[in-house]
Amino acid sequence: VRLVIEEEYDVLLPTPEAHETLGKQMCGELAAVLSIGEERVSILGFERGSVVVNINLLASENPSMEVSADMLAQELARLAADPYSRLRDYPSLANIHSAATLPPFPPTGAIFQPASQPEVELSSKPGQTHLESESPAVTGPPLDAA
């Protein structure tokens, strides 16, 4: 999922410590909003363009008992589109402008990932990188383009 927060990047994230602090806070608050464990939320990073947050919502270890990652992504997009949704009750989520559901991001380089998350295989074939896999590509204009 790609979240867009209506905040100035350099104001919200002036230091590397701010990245980690916001990542931890968002992980906990997203888990609370979606009624899932924090281990199912992985904050992969922040980009300029207001503030763009790339996250993965992970599958449950017990999929028959919990909502799928796809359904969680759809719910998050629905909540982001509603200016009166419960997202607005959480400090790190209050200014989310939009949420786009995308194919999962490669999990490497997560700035905040709870310790209980398992390692994820990036490719479907031994020796193949995630860029060479058959996953659909995410394309579009640069995020910081006006």
118 Cβ partners below 8 Å, 6+ apart? none
Contact of 55 with 104, CB cutoff 8 Å:
no
Mean pLDDT lowest among 4-13, 70-79, 110-119, 134-143: 134-143
Taking only the tens place, the pLDDT of each residue in 19-64 is 999 999 999 999 999 999 999 999 999 999 899 999 999 888 877 7
pLDDT of 139: 33
Q: Specify the residue for token string 């990073």.
A: 45
Q: Which pLDDT belongs to residue 66? A: 78
Q: How far apart are CA 93 and CA 5, in angstroms?
A: 8
Classify residue 116 by its DSSP letter: T
Strand partners, 45: 54
At residue 48, the pLDDT reads 92
User: What pLDDT was estimated at residue 46?
Assistant: 94
Report pLDDT digits (tens) over 92-146. 999 999 999 887 766 555 555 554 443 333 333 333 333 333 333 333 334 344 3
